[in-house]
Chains A and B, each alone.
Chain A
Amino acid sequence: MTDKQRSAYQREMDQIHVPKAKADETLRMMLEENRRLRAKENEEGERKKAGRRLPIYAGALAAACLLLAVGLALPRSGGYQFDKVGLNALVVSAAPKGATVTEDGADTVLGTSAEAVFPGWEVASGQTQAYPMGSGTAHESVLTIRKEGQELRATVTDYEPALFSTVQKEQQIAGKKVRLAYNEETQTYAAAYEENGKYCVLTGRMEEKAFLEALKGILEKK
C-alpha cells in the first residue's frame, strides 16, 4: 500500500463511528449489567458468610455419617481401590454444545496466565468456554500442555466439578490435598486439586512415577 492509498483508507475509515443511538444503548446496557453482576457478587458474599455460621452439630452429623460409610466399606474392599477408580468419573465434563468461546488460544487460564499455573510447561492448545450453570455462569479452560516429551490435559474450572465430591484416593503433594485416580483401560492417571479458588484436573498417559513427578513440579511451581 502506498502512502497515498494508506491515507485514503484511513480517511475512509475515520468516517465510520458507532451510530450514536446504538452507542448510547450499548453503554447503558453495559452499566446495567455491571451493576447487576456486582449486586449478585455481594449477594453471594453474604451467602458464603452465612454458610460459615452453620450450627456445629451439622459438622458432627457429617462426621458420624463418614464413619458409618467407612465402616461399611472397609470390610468388603479392604480400603479404597485406587487402581479401580474409573477415570470417566474424574474427567470434568466438557462445556456443553452452545457454550460461548470466551478466549480462543491458551495464553490465559480463567484470568491467570497459563505460565503461572503450569510453570515450565508449553501450552500446545486450549480454549476457555462459558456456559450457564444454575443462576450464574461457569467457565472452563481446557488445555494441552507439554514438557520434555510428556503431555498432560488440564481442565481448569471456576466451579467445583462433580469429581471433587466423589471418593478418590487422597494424597498430600507439595503440601496440597490432591485426589488421584487411574484408569486401567486407558492407562491414564488423573489428579484433581484446588488452587486459588479454581479447580484443576490433570490427566496424563504415562508411568505413575512420571505423572506424580510432573504433578509435584506443577504444584511446587517449578
Chain B
Amino acid sequence: MSDAELTRAYLDYSDMVYRIALVQTKSRAQAEDIQQDVFMALVRYSDRIHSEAHLKAWLIRVTQNACHKHYRSLWIKLTVLYDDTLYKENEGDSAPEDPGGYPGADDPDHLYDEVVQEAVEKLPENYRIVIHLFYYEEMPVRDIAKALNTSEQNVKTRLSRARDKLRQQLEGTIK
C-alpha cells in the first residue's frame, strides 16, 4: 500500500479498531496499544489485502486475535480487575483537542446511554463482540461470521443469547 492508502485506511478504520479493542479489553491503555499493533501489522501485510471489504474483515479479525492474546495473559487478567479506566478518560489525561470526553455527562439521556453501555460491557467477551459489530458497526451476520472466522449460525446463536442476557439486565431499569 502507498502512504496515502495507509493513511486513508487508518483514518477510516482506526476508531473502529479502537472501539472493538476497548469493548473487548475494557481498558483504554490496552485498546490504544492494540490499535497500534493492528495497524503496524497492516503495514507489513498490506499486500494481502485485495479489497475494501477484505480490509475491514482483516482488521476486525486481527483485532480480535490481539484481544484474545491480551486475555490469555495472566498478568493482564489480574490487572484488568483493577483497571478503572473503562470507557472513561483518566483525569487530566486528555489533550484539549482530544475528542474522547463525554459532553453532557449530567444529562438524563446520557445516564440512560451509560446504563445500556454498562449492560453490554457486562456481557461475556464473545457476546460483546457480536453485539458491537451487529448494533454499532451494523454489519450483517454473514460479514460478522466471516470476520470472526466462524459460522453464521454461531453468530446468530451468540446474538440471541446476548440479547437475552441484555434483556434480563435491563429489565426494570430501562423502559
Contacts and interface: CB of A to CB of B under 8 A. Distances in A.
A178 B15 CA distance: 48
A28 B101 CA distance: 24
Interface in B6-30: 6-7, 10, 14-15, 18-19, 22
B18 A8 contact: no
Contact of A17 (B18, B115, B117, B170): B18
A101 interface: yes
Interface string B39-51: 1111111011010
A166 interface: no
Nearest to B54: A108
Interface residues of A, number: 41
A196 interface: no
Given A19-B32, A22-B32, A30-B39, A5 B100 contact: no
A10 B135 contact: yes
Contacts of B149: 104-105, 107
Contacts of A10: 135-136
Contacts, number: 127
A26 B39 CA distance: 8
Nearest to A32: B43
Contacts of B103: 15
A9 B162 CA distance: 14
Contact of A101 (B65, B99, B114): B65
A102 interface: yes
6 shortest interchain CB distances as A-B pairs? A111-B48, A105-B149, A8-B116, A8-B113, A12-B117, A12-B113
Given A12-B113, A16-B22, 8 more contacts: A5-B170, A9-B136, A17-B98, A17-B100, A21-B95, A22-B36, A30-B43, A102-B45
9 contacts: A6-B135, A12-B116, A16-B15, A17-B18, A17-B100, A20-B95, A22-B35, A35-B3, A110-B48
